Every structure is written in structure tokens, then in C-alpha cells.
Amino acid sequence: MPAKEIQGVDASKRMAKESETGSRSLSGRVGGLVAGIAIAMSLFQLYTIHLAFALVLCFLCFPGSKKSPRHRIAIPDIILAILAGASALYLFVNYDHVVTSVGDAASYDLVIGAVLLILVLEATRRSISPILPIITIIFLLYAYLGPYCPEILAHRGFRVKRIIDHIFMSGEGLWGVPLRVSATFVFLFVLFGAFLERTGAGEYLINLSFALMGRFRGGPAKAAVVASCAMGSISGSSIANTVTTGAMTIPLMKKVGFQPHVAGAVEVAASTNGQLMPPIMGAAAFIMAEIIGVPYVEIVKAAFIPAVLSYTAIFSIVHLEAVKENIRGLTKEETPPILKTLISGLHYIIPLFLLIWLLLVVMWTPTTAAAWSILAAALVAVANNYYRAHIGFPRLKDKGVDKDDPAYLDYLQNSRGYFVRRSLNEIMRSLEMGARNMAGIAAACACCGIIIGVVTLTGLGLKMATLITEAAGGNLLLTLIFSVFASIILGMGLPTTATYIIMAAMTAPAILTISADLNLGLPIVAVHLFVFYYGIVADDTPPVGLCAYAAAGIAKSDPVKTGWKSFRLDLAAFTLPFMFIYNTKLLMIGTNWIELCYILPICILGMFCWSVFIQGHWIVKTYIWERFIFLGLAFLLVNPSHISIGSFLVNQHVVNLIAVGAMILIYFWQRSRKGPRVILEKHYLEIYI
């Protein structure tokens, strides 16, 4: 890899590390202390203490400004960390006093509460972005300045004492649902992802994707889609997904002919959609289950088909891009062997399959399933190191083979202690990485808890639902469109979790109100997934899109150009929520497995039609009228219900038959324009492989 590309990869990885675990690289005793705090956080979880650990790590790992030192901790940061930890532990230490003082807090309670709120805002600014604290401050000002707000949003106003008492001393603000879920479900799944990543599962999934897809046309891009889907299903983090898979996929995409901004955009679109792919869908999905009061497995089940369709669209667009630009795949020498690659890391998949089995078959709670899966991941790491130390490496040593693998070199230097030392190191580093990854998420959840506290105190949620309903004039489509704009505008500056929580409190009630007024009976899962989807796609919506900046750093491309291209590639995720709102069978609601076996392939054809519409190319460049025919076919096929034409009700099976027939006719029409060189079987293979 050229030196410039290596620098770009390093810079993007550094950006990802700064956003996920903090930009400070500490060593020596101080680094050991921070690692110890992180490991202790992983081993002990109670949501008051969870916040204390998280705030301490935020101040120790995330510098206050660009001028702050990166290899040591400044004295002010140490003071803030101590204050934050002590104030967060106050409720835990003085629980009896707090319970009996709600509504009549003492002055010192309010002082400690005010200090904690300020420190939560500062920790969130450091670890996430300044936007979320600014929005939180606006909500706090709204609680205080209620009488001076416009009439429809006005309320009687609350004194500072009442605001702090409600947010800090009760369970409806700072200590509400977001932080409680962060300390339980979310933390365990983040820790599980850290174990898989640290023990080598991530690298294995990337290599397997290249082995499966690398040799086909545009192979590295298709491998990027598959790898990002697999990585996203276990990490739930867009930017970590982007730099982890992008470090390998983006240079290879450029090598086979993709333009730099296109290579970066493919990785961004695929990585962002990773949050949609079960079983781990990021923090927001767990909070959703808690807010709407359904088992997490119901969220997983409902999200599965839309996630498959979203990745189908991205995969198809990537294929058509390769066809349009005549981009080759990797050579046989450049592609890892499939069988060898598959067998080499099957043990890494054991914890993931165990998680899926415990969640979907045994129906254990997410916390129990995640805990056992973490234990399985640790055991797999130990077993893998035992095999290396006692079977694998001795064979290489006996053969006299000199390997460059750092693990093998480490074994040669200290074979006796290798197994124990490496196993302990992997487990401890996984615990540390999980906690450091979690620090920013916990701070953001605490910030969102403050917002939720203001909403419950002032009744803002009901007021916003009324405002949106009146503005939409009782029209469901307009209500959905207003919700989309609100989600995307907020989401361009906030993480997905924060966007979802705010929208769940502000716009989801409006959609449900309209549904009730029109007797539509929309499932609450469908409404909240609608909001959730637009919080995710906001991650790669220009001009912000941190993922686009990370990918552009690797690709050496313009971040804005990369962002707009990824936005175009990800347009399927913009349309799918409307489709499943109007057709809840896509969420496996009101249907059965036999019907789903028919619906899924038909919908996949529909997403391919959508991809042709986006790219303006199939076998040859499409005419404008062909392009809009494909748009119509996409909406007809991804619509598992009857179609009304005037006063006639047309059976969906008939519509599907007509749509597939139209696709076949256009195929032969385009083939005739390309010439006799195109072989039907070959092109069919290229489309679906």
C-alpha cells in the first residue's frame, strides 16, 4: 500500500478511536490506572455507578480541547473526573435520604445535582459532540422560560430548584430509561462486540467476505458490503465499522477501478446500515424495546427484512456501478481461498451463533444471552491461544518455518508463558475496550435523560404531537414527512441513540395519534422503527456525516463529495420506512412463514429495480422513461398488499406477475441495444452473485 494511503488509513483509524474511545494514548502508571478503571466498569454494573465510571473515563480519555495534552492527563481533567465520579455516586451512597427527599430536596442536594448536570453536559461535549449539550441546554431553558414561549408550546414555567429536583432526584430524568438501558442491555452488547473484535472475529469476517466476493465484478466493493453487514451486526457502530473494514476494502476498490470518492461512499453506506442489521443494532434498539415495552427479540424480528432489503439495494447499486464503469474483480492470486478462509476462523462464529440461539430460540432475556455469549467469546479466545501454543506453533517451529506473525514471534520469544499471558491480555483488553467504547454512549444517554425529564415535566411531548398533527391536517403522509425532516436535521449533529430518544418522545406520539384518529392501527414497533431508521441515515447525510470524513481520509477523497455519493447509495433506507409503515408485513406483522417465503424474493426484485432507477443503468444506460418504469416497478414489488386502481382492487399476485414480466421485456430490450455479445446466463449470474 502506498505511503499516502497508509497515512490516510492511520488518520481515519485515529479519528475513529477519538470518537469511540477517546484521543488520549496513555502509558505507564497513568495508562494502567485508566485501564483498571475501564476494566472495573466492565466487571461491575449498576446504573448510578455506571454513570460514575463513564464520566470519569470521559474526562480522563477525552481531552477538553485540541490544545489539551494527548499523552498525559491535565490536572483540571483529574479534578473534573473526581467531581463527576463523586457527584454521580451521591445517590448510590445516600439512597435512603434521596428517596425520602424527592419533591423537597435540601439545598446541598440541589448543588450536587447542578454540578452533576453540568459535568454530564461537558462529558457529552467531549465524547460525542457539542450539538447534544446545546440541545439539552435549550430544553432546560424551555423548562424555565415556559410562560414566554409561543402559545401552543407555553407552560407555567418551573424554578431552577424544581427542574433540578425532577431531573436529578427522581427516576424520570437523568436516571430514567436511557441510562438504565445503557447500564444493562447496551453495555453488555458493546462488551460482547469488543470481545469479538479483540479476539479476531472482525478480521475473520472481512477475510471471509473477500474470499466469497473478491473474484466477481467489482469484487472489493461487494466484499465491503458483505463485511460491513457482518461487522455491523456485531458492533452497532457506524464509524468503527467504516474504518475497520474500510482500511482493507477502500484501497482494493480503488485498485480495481472505483473512483476514490465512490470507494469511500460504498464503505460509508454499507457501514451506516450495519446498525439496521440484527442481532446487535446499536444502543437505540435496546432503548426502543424498553420505551415501547416489547421484548428485544420482537425488535430483531421486525428489523430483519428491511435490513436485508436495504443491503440488497446497496449490493445491487454496487454491482451496477461496476457494470457501468466496466470494473473488474480481484485476480485469483489476490483472492483468499474460500474453504481455507472459512475453516480458519469458524470458532470465532460460535459466540455469535450462541447469542442468536439464546435470543431467538431459547428466548432468554438480552442481558442473560449477552452475558453467556461474552463468556463463550472469552472461552473461545482461551481455547484458540491454547491451540496456538501447544499444537499450531510447535508444528511450525518443528518445520523450521520463519513466520512474520507477531503472535508467532511472541511465542518463539517466550513459549512457556505465551498461552496464559496472551489469554489474559486479550480478555483484559476486551474489558477495557468495551468500557472505553461505552463511556461516550453512557454520557449521551444521561444527556438524553435530561431531555426526557424536561419533556415529562412540561408535557412537551403531547404539545409537539398536537402541533405536528395540526400542521399535517390529520394526514398521515405529511406527519411522516415532518418526522423525517426533524429526524434528519437532528441526526446530522447527534448520534443515532440521541436522535431516536428525542424523536421517540416528540414525533412518534404524533404518528400514533394520527393512526388512532384514522383507525389505521399502526403497530407501535413500526412507528418507532420508522423514527429509528431516519436517525441512522442521518449519519451519512451531508454536510456533517462523520463516517464520510473517516472514509474520505482512507480514500484520499473529498469528504463532502464522498458524503453525497454515500447519500445516493443509501437512498433505499430513505424509502423503506414508508414502505413498512404502509405494509407492516415487511416487519413480519400480520403474516406467516409461507407468505414470507413468497414476499421476500419479490421484494428483493423490487429493490433491484430501485437500484436500476438510482444508477440509470442495467445492461446498458437506461432511457429516462425506462428509469421511471423501474421506479414504479420497485414500489409495486415492495408492496405486499392489494393495489387499488380506480374502483378496482387488483390482487398483488397479479401485480407481481405483471411487474416481473415488464422486467423481462426491458431486459431483452436492453440486451438488443447492447448487441449479441451479452449472454443471458452470464449476466444473470453477475446480478445475483
Residue-wise pLDDT for 187-217, tens only, equals 888 888 888 888 888 788 888 888 888 888 8
Other Cβ atoms less than 10 A from the Cβ of 108: the count is: 9
Q: Extract long-range pairs of 37-43: CB within 8 Å, 24+ residues apart.
A: 37/435, 38/431, 38/432, 38/433, 38/434, 38/435, 38/436, 39/428, 39/431, 39/432, 39/435, 41/435, 41/438, 42/187, 42/191, 42/431, 42/432, 42/434, 42/435, 43/431
Average pLDDT over residues 380-393: 79
pTM (predicted TM-score): 0.79
Residues 629-669: pLDDT tens digits? 998 888 888 876 655 454 444 567 788 888 889 999 998 88
In degrees and rounded to multiples of 5, residue 144 shows phi and psi of -85, -35
Contact between 261 and 561 (Cβ < 8 Å): yes
Residues 429-475: pLDDT tens digits? 888 888 888 888 888 889 988 998 998 888 888 788 788 878 777 78
Distance, CA of 151 to CA of 153 (rounded, Å): 5
Average pLDDT over residues 401-418: 62
In degrees and rounded to multiples of 5, residue 645 shows phi and psi of -125, 100
Distance, CA of 488 to CA of 534 (rounded, Å): 6
Output 338 or 389, whichever has higher pLDDT: 338
Output 683 or 581, whichever has higher pLDDT: 581
Contact between 513 and 469 (Cβ < 8 Å): yes
Output 542 or 291, whichever has higher pLDDT: 291
Q: Side-chain half-sphere of 221: how many Cα atoms within 13 Å?
A: 32
**Mean pLDDT, the chain, whole residue set:** 81
DSSP conformation letters of 304-336: HHHHHHHHHHHHHHHHHHHHHHT-----TTTSP
Would you state the cell numbers that stand for residue 198, as one nine-digit string? 479483540
Nearest in space to 617 (alpha carbons), one of 317, 327, 262: 317
Give 69: exposed, middle or buried? Use CB within 10 Å, 0-12, 13-18, 19+: exposed
pLDDT at 687 over 70: no
Would you state the cell numbers that stand for residue 648, as one nine-digit string? 378496482
What contacts 608, CB < 8 A, 6 or more positions away? 312, 313, 316, 687
Please state, in angstroms and as integers, the Cα–Cα distance from residue 212 to each residue in 256, 344, 351, following that order.
Answer: 17, 14, 22
Residues 29-39: pLDDT tens digits? 777 777 777 77
pLDDT at 686 over 80: no
Please state, in angstroms and as integers, the Cα–Cα distance from residue 218 to each residue in 276, 342, 568, following that order.
Answer: 24, 21, 18
Average pLDDT over residues 271-283: 79
Other Cβ atoms less than 10 A from the Cβ of 171: the count is: 13
Q: What pLDDT sits at residue 647?
A: 45
Distance, CA of 34 to CA of 315 (rounded, Å): 42
Strand 643-645 relative to strand 648-650, pairing: antiparallel
**Residue keyed to cell 477519538:** 18
Distance, CA of 329 to CA of 286 (rounded, Å): 39
Q: What pLDDT sits at residue 649?
A: 47
Average pLDDT over residues 342-358: 87
Distance, CA of 205 to CA of 223 (rounded, Å): 10
Q: What pLDDT sits at residue 139?
A: 92
Q: Where are the beta strands (DSSP E) in 463-583?
A: none
**At 23, which helix (H) or strand (E)?**
none
Would you state the cell numbers that stand for residue 226, as one nine-digit string? 458483505
One-letter amino acid at 288 equals M
Distance, CA of 99 to CA of 103 (rounded, Å): 10
Would you state the cell numbers that stand for residue 482, as one nine-digit string? 415532518
Rg of the chain in Å (alpha carbons) = 26
pLDDT at 273 over 70: yes
Whether the link from the prior residue into 279 is cis, omega within 30° of 0, is yes
Other Cβ atoms less than 10 A from the Cβ of 335: the count is: 20
Q: Is 282 helix (H, G, I), strand (E, B) or coil?
A: coil
DSSP conformation class of 651: -
pLDDT at 684 over 50: no
pLDDT at 140 over 60: yes
Q: How confident is the model at residue 412 (pLDDT cuts 50, 70, 90)?
A: low
Contact between 608 and 312 (Cβ < 8 Å): yes
Contact between 212 and 317 (Cβ < 8 Å): no
Q: Is 77 left (phi over 0), alpha (psi -120 to 50) or beta?
A: alpha
Distance, CA of 282 to CA of 496 (rounded, Å): 9
Contact between 274 and 231 (Cβ < 8 Å): yes
Q: How confident is the model at residue 122 (pLDDT cuts 50, 70, 90)?
A: very high
In degrees and rounded to multiples of 5, residue 464 shows phi and psi of -65, -40
Q: What pLDDT sits at residue 21?
A: 53
Distance, CA of 479 to CA of 512 (rounded, Å): 10
Q: What pLDDT sits at residue 118?
A: 94
Distance, CA of 656 to CA of 633 (rounded, Å): 9
Which of 243-247, 329-333, 348-352, 680-684 has the weakest average pLDDT? 680-684
Biggest CA pair distance of the chain: 86
Distance, CA of 164 to CA of 157 (rounded, Å): 13
pLDDT at 416 over 70: no
Distance, CA of 230 to CA of 241 (rounded, Å): 10
Can you count the helices (H) and strands (E) in the chain? 34, 2
Contact between 364 and 358 (Cβ < 8 Å): yes
What contacts 13, CB < 8 A, 6 or more positions away? 243, 247
Residues 235-260: pLDDT tens digits? 666 777 777 778 878 888 888 888 88
Q: What pLDDT sits at residue 683?
A: 47
Distance, CA of 241 to CA of 541 (rounded, Å): 17
